[in-house]
Amino acid sequence: MKLWEKNIRKVVPYVPGEQPQGSRLIKLNTNENPYPPSPLVIKALTEMDAEAFRKYPDPAASLLTQELARTYGVNQNQVFVGVGSDDVLGMAFLTFFHSEKPILFPDITYSFYPVWADLFRIPYETPALDPDFRIRKEDYFRENGGIIFPNPNAPTGLEMDLDEIRAILQHNPDVVVIIDEAYIDFGAESALPLIEAYDNLLIVQTFSKSRAMAGMRIGFAIGNPDLIKAMSDVKYSYNSYTMNLPSILLGVQAVRDQEYFQETLGKIVRTREETKVWMSELGFSFTDSKTNFLFATHNQVPAEELFEALKREQIYVRYFKQKGLDQYLRITIGTDEEMAVLRRFLERFLKDNGVFSPA
């Protein structure tokens, strides 16, 4: 080992979903929205003045925080924005989890959480989900340095109801509780109404899923003004200009177009529910997803075998080769046409393997 290597910070990085290239593939592995962004976004993009790019963007992204505050019925000083919810969550870890006590998050959850904890040298513990993949609220009724969990959880897709969230908050008044609501818009109930009653609650959401803007990298947090100020102070101590001007301007338009937003959500939810029906007929079972994906297992065919077979057909889904998840596939809900291709392949594959006989 070279002498300078002793001083390198070594971490096990987060591994994002595969980003295959090509025009003849079906990409159902990273929970992207299958529909384009709002027409208002596309219009604003074509009218954008490139001359403005020579100047630094507003470090506070005021146009966007103002629009988010108006839409969600909060004050502007209760909103923080960042470069995707990953940036927002990373900043929240750095800001709020500064204790010698371990933070708590589920053992099966978003796999970036332990990466941030290791990177920032934050001790953590991971209470196990119950046999039905649900978070047990009682596991969070103990001393800790902070709490974070997604709602709905990922990759299980299951929602925790507000009464359970309220119970966790009531048992943890002295630490910050972060709820990662990346998938909240697909049928779950947001904890945003609780922020006025609990000044230690931070809600984080993203434009990547429901607003079809994963490529623009926009995320935001809503909480008590003191929490938002603390995050902003840390942000300005690290990088003042985190969000670029196009993201700010196009993000505003995405938030404004509520009609298109609801229309797109409706299509995805409808397709999800239809997919549940035919997948059940093919021998799959899955959790009661409130997201834009299904967490599915087949009663006869190993998940890894299905994953590889789908990949050979240029149909990409997500497979987690780890204990507790290795018999499940996470399948993003695509367009009706994409899901029809998936269905035809699965019917053929299962028939060829002697596990399905179409009626």
| CATH 3.40.50.2020 at 8-35+259-352, yes or no | no
| pLDDT band (50, 70, 90) for residue 14 | confident
The contacts of residue 219 (CB under 8 Å, 6+ apart) are 81, 82, 83, 84, 85, 86, 87, 88, 89, 204, 205, 206, 207, 208
CATH of domain 39-256: 3.40.640.10
What tens digit of pLDDT does each residue of 255-308 get? 999 999 999 999 999 999 999 999 999 999 999 999 999 999 999 999 999 999
pLDDT the model gives residue 133: 96
Q: Is the pLDDT of residue 359 over 60?
A: no
More confident residue, 328 or 15: 328
3-state secondary structure 110-167: CCHHHHHHHHCCCCEECCCCCCCCCCCHHHHCCCCCCEEEECCCCCCCCCCCHHHHHH
What tens digit of pLDDT does each residue of 342-357 get? 999 999 999 998 886 6
DSSP-assigned beta bridge partners for residue 329: 296, 319
Per DSSP, 7 falls in state G
**CA gap 103, 22 in Å, rounded:** 41
What tens digit of pLDDT does each residue of 60-89 get? 999 999 999 999 999 999 999 999 999 999
Domain ranges (residues) in the chain: 8-35+259-352, 39-256
What tens digit of pLDDT does each residue of 162-184 get? 999 999 999 999 999 999 999 99
What tens digit of pLDDT does each residue of 188-234 get? 999 999 999 999 999 999 999 999 999 999 999 999 999 999 999 99
pTM of the model: 0.95
The Cβ of residue 347 has, within 10 Å, a number of other Cβ atoms equal to 15
Q: Is the pLDDT of residue 22 over 80?
A: no
Mean pLDDT of the chain: 95
